[in-house]
Homo-oligomer: A and B are copies of this chain.
């Protein structure tokens, strides 16, 4: 593999995944990943532009940022690209009224959305909300529509909490796709539209941007397909087998965000 100087040359903007990179969620709000609070602070003091690009869909952006600030991270709401606000824009543009299968923590993001007489379904990481009853209700709504439309806020397979691996929204999206014979529209990583909106908001071109994430599909492959570079951290949901994936190869593997920031500050934008 080429030297880091070559791999990171010309990087002007950094997109950061949140869960598994900054912190691991879990009981009591979770815990920062060692070195990440300080690494983010260093990154933000540099000349590099920074934006957060998350598939978090259990919490509103406000709650997410509040929680991260309490953990010590320098982050504000306006710096976060998240799927719930992006979905609301799409629903409004297309005049759609969703049945929501979502976590109570993110419900406030949909306050301005008409949910009467639903003509589509929106699912997000609902956690315990993915009961049989709730899944069946979403299924029945879709089956009663002539043209069933399903939005999924991300399609992650699982994420890591302090207590272990947890099923994310993706498996439940697949369940409804199979049950109804349809294909969901994914809002969030690895959808190219989602990465592009994050790049627009950061005002950096794809070839000048690098994604740092723990998800080989959502973060690494997704960003690379948009023309970005991508570093995978060995934290969060990272598994050693990721480094031997037959098709997806990150532009680099680092132990954690702290190592990524060390390398970026040394080699980027040179």
Contact = CB atoms under 8 A, between A and B. Distances in A.
Contacts of A158: 139, 143, 179
Nearest to A126: B132
Interface stretch (A56-64, A162-170, A185-193): A162-170
- Copies per assembly: 2
Nearest to A180: B157
B167 A171 contact: no
Interface string A167-178: 100111011111
A28 interface: no
A147 interface: no
Interface residues of A, number: 30
A116 interface: no
Contacts of A172: 175
A95 interface: no
A117 interface: no
A171 B178 contact: yes
Interface string A102-137: 000000000000000000000000111111110110
A140 interface: yes
A75 to B, nearest CB: 28
A164 B178 contact: no
Contacts of A240: none
A135 B130 contact: yes
Contacts of A132: 126-131, 167
A115 to B, nearest CB: 21
12 contacts: A128-B131, A130-B131, A130-B135, A131-B131, A132-B167, A135-B167, A143-B165, A171-B174, A171-B175, A171-B179, A172-B175, A174-B178
Given A127-B132, A128-B132, A157-B179, 18 more contacts: A126-B132, A128-B131, A128-B133, A130-B131, A139-B158, A139-B165, A139-B171, A140-B165, A143-B158, A143-B165, A157-B178, A167-B175, A170-B178, A171-B174, A171-B176, A171-B178, A174-B175, A175-B175
